[in-house]
Amino acid sequence: MFIEIEGLCFRYPKAPKAVIDDFSLTIDQGEVICILGESGGGKSTVLRLVAGLEVPSKGRIRINDITMVDESVFVQPEKRGVGMVFQDYSLFPHMTVAENIRFGLNKMTNKEKDYRITQMLDLVSLGDYKKRYPYELSGGQQQRVAIARTLAPKPSLLLLDEPFSNLDAHLRSKIREEIKIILRQTNITVIFVTHDEEDAKSMADRVVILKEGKIVEVTDHKLV
């Protein structure tokens, strides 16, 4: 298995109950997994634990046969090979599209960076927008830039936090299909969280239904 999550628990200090309780899941290379649940049910906390932005109370996470966290190991977020797109996209407003994508490419020559930026802009169909600023883009375009910036350093795992929640209802279906195509082209492993069943139906290979921090069901393939 590419990703193994075993017995993951998370509780805030002095909190009466756990936010995440005995979360276990295995994920294959290239799979797109959706964690579906109501607001406040712990979905985004799972992403933060996988990314290394929170430390679990107990449990283990392994990615590509490397332990990222257990009772004696904690790999720092920047060393996990995990990319995360936050709900608000977190683009730098003072940087152009190309500069936003360039930001995470620290270990490349300038020529390699330019080539990678062009690759990413072509992938998300924004080749003509590289000199634009985020405020000049639509919500869907901003999202594609955020995904391009996150994919540019070639992470092994992509995490998406409520990727469609900021989009107007009439745009959601169109943008979902665009993002789905981008992700399939890269064959990257993806975990995304949502409260919307339509997001899960249209995007995911499997759906993990989470309620009050516990897995209540894992569907095989798509919801019906």
Would you place residue 145 in the very low, low, confident or very high pLDDT band (cuts 50, 70, 90)? very high
User: What count of Cα atoms within 13 Å lies in the side-chain half-sphere of residue 102?
Assistant: 15
Residues 105 and 209 in one domain: no
Residues 75 and 169 in one domain: yes
Q: Is residue 68 part of a domain?
A: yes
Residues 40 and 135 in one domain: no
Q: What is the pLDDT of residues 93-139, one digit of tens each?
A: 999 999 999 998 988 899 999 999 999 999 999 999 999 999 999 98
Left, alpha or beta for 90 (phi > 0: left; psi -120 to 50: alpha)?
Answer: left
Q: Is residue 130 part of a domain?
A: yes
Domain with residue 164: its CATH number is: 3.40.50.300
Q: What is the pLDDT of residues 180-223, one digit of tens each?
A: 999 998 999 999 999 999 999 899 999 999 999 999 999 976 54
pLDDT attached to residue 221: 60
Residue 144 near residue 178, CB atoms below 8 Å? yes
Q: What is the domain extent for residue 133?
A: 92-143
Residues 7 and 72 in one domain: yes
What percentage of the chain exceeds 70 in pLDDT? Answer: 98
Would you place residue 70 in the very low, low, confident or very high pLDDT band (cuts 50, 70, 90)? very high
pLDDT attached to residue 222: 54
Residues 54 and 75 in one domain: yes
pTM attached to this predicted model? 0.91
Distance, in Å, from the CA atom of 210 to the CA atom of 191, rounded to the nearest integer, reads 13
Residues 77 and 122 in one domain: no
Distance, in Å, from the CA atom of 113 to the CA atom of 144, rounded to the nearest integer, reads 18
Q: Is residue 223 part of a domain?
A: no
Interior CA angle at 58 toward 56 and 61, to 5°? 70
Would you place residue 14 in the very low, low, confident or very high pLDDT band (cuts 50, 70, 90)? confident
Residues 103 and 189 in one domain: no
Q: What is the pLDDT of residues 16-54, one digit of tens each?
A: 899 999 999 999 999 999 999 999 899 999 999 999 999
